[in-house]
A = this chain, B = another copy of it.
Amino acid sequence: MSGMAYDPTAYPAVAVTVDLVVLTIRDDRLCALAVRRGERPFRGRWALPGGFVRPTEELDAAAARELAEETGLTPAQVHVEQLRTYGSPRRDPRMRVVSVAYLGLAPDLPVPLPGTDAEAATWMPVSELEGADVRLAFDHAEILRDGVERARAKLEYSSLAAAFCPAEFTVAELRRVYEIVWGTEIDARNFHRKATKTAGFLEPTGETTTRDGGRPALLYRRGPAEQLQPPLTQPRR
A residues in contact (CB < 8 Å) with B: 1-6, 8, 11-17, 19, 35, 37, 39, 41-42, 47-59, 82, 84-85, 87-89, 92, 94-100, 119, 137-138, 229, 236
* A194–chain B nearest beta-carbon distance, Å: 17
Are A39 and B5 in contact, with the CB atoms below 8 A? yes
Are A51 and B2 in contact, with the CB atoms below 8 A? yes
Are B89 and A37 in contact, with the CB atoms below 8 A? no
Are B88 and A85 in contact, with the CB atoms below 8 A? no
Taking A16-B87, A59-B87 as contacts, is the C-beta distance between A48 and B100 under 8 angstroms? no
Taking A14-B14, A84-B82, A87-B100 as contacts, is the C-beta distance between A3 and B57 under 8 angstroms? no
Are B48 and A1 in contact, with the CB atoms below 8 A? yes
Can you sample 24 A-B contacts with CB below 8 Å? Answer: A1-B19, A1-B51, A1-B137, A2-B19, A2-B50, A2-B51, A2-B52, A2-B97, A3-B41, A3-B47, A4-B51, A4-B52, A5-B39, A11-B55, A13-B13, A13-B14, A14-B15, A14-B16, A14-B53, A16-B16, A56-B96, A82-B84, A85-B85, A98-B98
